[in-house]
Amino acid sequence: MEHLKYPIGKFEYGKSYTMQDNLKHIEEIERFPEELLSLVSKMDASLIEKSYRPGGWTGRQIINHLADSHLNAYVRTKLTLTEDTPTIKPYNQDAWANMEDGKDGSFVNSLKVIDAIHARWVYLLVTLKDRDFQRKYIHPEYKREFQLDELLALYAWHCKQHYAHLKIILDNK
């Protein structure tokens, strides 16, 4: 079951990243909305309501979660760049995914949000200098500091992880 929950493997925290790594992650984040739209356009209404694993989110919940999560990542990025080691606000992603807008809300609207937030986020990210990626925030759930470059790597992984979940749904139609 672990291979369905983490089809690309778990994210590895605590690694170091170069500016070249950061640029690669920015490119992945930039490409994601188009790749996601291309994949989702191959799914009919019944597939959007299917899950990638028993007890897992449906395709609709995954897409709506991506919008929620990446909005939070954008805000965390801005806070990290404008405040000295801010403590970010965690959120309960399962609770959000199970709210009405997560379970039954328009995934088309979430695709629009993802496209727009990624455009804003990438516009900001490409203006940053190497030292900016070293800025830190505190995540109170993990009780540790994270550098902005790790957040960037995490969300590049996050894009691929949930893309793989949706691909599982599509491949098992």
Q: Structural domain boundaries of the chain?
A: 17-171
Give the dihedral of Cα atoms 142, 146, 150, 155; nearest 10 deg.
Answer: 50
Q: Where residue 1 falls among pLDDT bands split at 50, 70, 90?
A: confident
- How much is the pLDDT for 123? 98
Could you tell me if 77 and 137 are in contact, meaning their C-beta atoms sit under 8 angstroms apart? Answer: no
2: pLDDT strictly greater than 90: no
For tokens 């690669």, the residue is 24
Mean pLDDT of 79-86: 98
Q: Where residue 173 falls among pLDDT bands split at 50, 70, 90?
A: confident
Q: Where residue 71 falls among pLDDT bands split at 50, 70, 90?
A: very high
Mean pLDDT of 144-165: 98
Q: List pLDDT tens digits, range 13-62.
A: 999 999 999 999 999 999 999 999 999 999 999 999 999 999 999 999 99
| Homologous superfamily of the 17-171 domain (CATH) | dinb family like domain (1.20.120.450)
Q: What letter does residue 87 receive in the DSSP assignment?
A: B
- Closest-CA residue to 67 (of 128, 110, 6, 21): 110
- How much is the pLDDT for 116? 98
Measured distance CA(56)–CA(102) in Å, rounded: 13
pLDDT, mean over the chain: 97
